Amino acid sequence: MVVRESYIEQLKPFIDKPLIKILTGIRRSGKSTVLMMLRDVSVSRGVKPGQILSINFESFAYSHLTSAEELYRYIASFVRPGNRLPFIE
C-alpha cells in the first residue's frame, strides 16, 4: 500500500462534516487505498470498526446489490439508533 499522507491531510478537515464526499479518479489510481486509510484515521479517532461499512462492488459477495432499493435496504440493515456509518466504499 502506498501511503498517501498528503491526500489524507487534505481530507481530514471534511471528516465529520455533513457533506457527501466523492472520491474520483481513473481506474487503479488508489481511491480504495485512500478510503482504507481514512477508515484507519476514523478508528484512531474513536470510531468503532463495527460502525464502518465497506462494500466492494467488484466482489461477488455484493452481486445481489443491483438496484438502489437493494443497496438502501442493505445499508439500512446496519444502522442502529445512536450509531452512524461514516464510510461507504
Three cell numbers written together for 6: 498528503
* Band of residue 73 on the pLDDT scale cut at 50, 70, 90: very high
pLDDT at 83 over 90: no
Q: How far is CA 81 from CA 7, 25, 66, 85, in A?
A: 32, 34, 27, 11
Mean pLDDT (whole number) for 8-25: 86
pLDDT at 81 over 80: no
Mean pLDDT (whole number) for 52-80: 91
φ/ψ of 8, rounded to 5, equals -60, -45
* Band of residue 89 on the pLDDT scale cut at 50, 70, 90: very low
Largest CA-CA distance found in the chain, in angstroms, rounded: 37
| Distance of alpha carbon 71 from alpha carbon 12, whole angstroms | 27
Mean pLDDT of the chain: 85
Per-residue model confidence (pLDDT) at position 78: 85
Per-residue model confidence (pLDDT) at position 86: 52
